[in-house]
Amino acid sequence: MDREKIISKTEEFVKKTLIDAEGGHDWWHIYRVWQLSKTIAREESVDLFIVELGALLHDISDAKFNGGDETIGPAKAFGFLKSLEVEESVIEHVIRIIENISFRKGLDGQEFSSPELNVIQDADRLDAIGAIGIGRAFSYGGFKNREIYDPDIKPNLNMNKDEYKNAKAPTINHFYEKLLLLKDLMNTDTGRRIAAKRHAFMLEYLDEFYREWEGL
């Protein structure tokens, strides 16, 4: 099977797999990360085939929604790529990417890195900030039944992996606990440039949010 065909088969597989996914983590998140990965990859020397497969398969089973099991996603991706008879070395690399991409994993120390992972990780993090990121945060907060804001509950900047997973704080706190930290975690120059713009937009949003909160 040629590479183009493998990509379109993968697109089809991921769409089908995510049919019931929650709003912030659905096919369209994958779509955006895929497109953004290609944009960033243009300015990096990476294997575009691996970047595209990794981007498409990076979130097919979120541990948040299956009792914390972080092996299901990589196992599903492995089975799928095997079924298409993708080269062993490509499968291996894509699986390592999926295993190592998440923010929560980053909190405990990442075990693997590659230029391709760097590109996808930037794209994934960029989708959590800016206008889209704000939308996703409130969507996730609603899904978890959280308040949008409570001035008496202060952000917690020193969470470990479990505290981060189980946090019950209002959604605005998530800006300080994660979203505003992401611009400094970019791996690539293109990522940094896009992050700066999206970051500035979030600061402006927060400014307006607090003004409106006080009736201004």
Among 59, 99, 122, 177, binds Ni ion (CB under 5 A): 59
Nearest residue to 141 (alpha-carbon basis) of 109, 102, 168, 104 = 168
Site string for Ni ion, 99-118 (x = CB under 5 A): --------------------
Please identify, using beta-carbon distances, which residue of 36 and 86 lies nearer to Ni ion.
36
Shortest Cβ distance from residue 213 to Ni ion (Å)? Answer: 30
* List of residues contacting ligand ADP (CB under 6 A): 24-25, 59, 62, 64, 102-103, 124, 128, 133, 136-137, 140-141, 167, 171, 174, 178
Please identify, using beta-carbon distances, which residue of 6 and 21 lies nearer to Ni ion.
21
Residue 53 binds which of Ni ion, ligand ADP, none (CB < 5-8 A, kind-dependent): none
* Interface positions, 124-153, toward Ni ion (CB under 5 A): 124
Residue 37 binds which of Ni ion, ligand ADP, none (CB < 5-8 A, kind-dependent): none
